[in-house]
Amino acid sequence: MWTEITRRKHEREGQRYASDVTDAEWALIEPHMPAAKPLGRPRDTELRDVVDAILYIARTGCQWRMLPKDFPPFTTVQGYFYDWRDNGLFEKINFELLLQAREAAGREASPSAGVIDSQSVKTTESGGPRGGACPRARQSRDPGDAANKLKSLPRRRLGAVSVAS
């Protein structure tokens, strides 16, 4: 629920888009950004603009080619995104921000205990080879294969075999 305090804290006035990072957010992210490479072409793209473009795509779900023209070229943004993803930069930034958030809340930087909900563990048993998006793709065309698809627990315990007629 929005309060006057939280509304002011998360206000995005003066930003091009609601997904753009604020100065305070950029101050937390910027130290983790990779330095310019010593060899090759000098960097002429602002990394903050690249981060804003990536967040815009994540927020709107638009295609790379549909990125508005006030961002760097989509090929540049896409290249940085893939490079940072493959190098684990997003995970590193997320981990560092998590540590800072825990310390700001008065907790230890890393948790000392964890909880696993037993109901969540039970539901994972239904996954595996039977899972998938399209049930028809998993169906066998061989009628003799029906015995392998029995789901009834008592029949499997008894070792029931299909009877060919």
Residue 123 gets the label, from left (phi > 0), alpha (psi -120 to 50) or beta, of: alpha
pLDDT in tens, 66-125: 999 999 999 999 999 999 999 999 999 999 889 888 888 888 877 777 777 766 555 555
Q: What is the pTM of this model?
A: 0.61
Please say whether the beta carbons of 149 and 140 come within 8 A: yes
Q: Which of 40, 42, 21 is nearest to 32 (CA)?
A: 21
Residue 152 gets the label, from left (phi > 0), alpha (psi -120 to 50) or beta, of: beta
Residue 56 pLDDT greater than 70, yes or no: yes
**What is the mean pLDDT of the segment spanning 121-137?**
54
Question: DSSP string of 47-100?
Answer: HHHHHHHHHHHHHH---GGG--TTSSPHHHHHHHHHHHHHTTHHHHHHHHHHHH
Residue 45 DSSP label: S
Q: What is the CB-side half-sphere exposure of residue 87 using CA atoms within 13 A?
A: 11
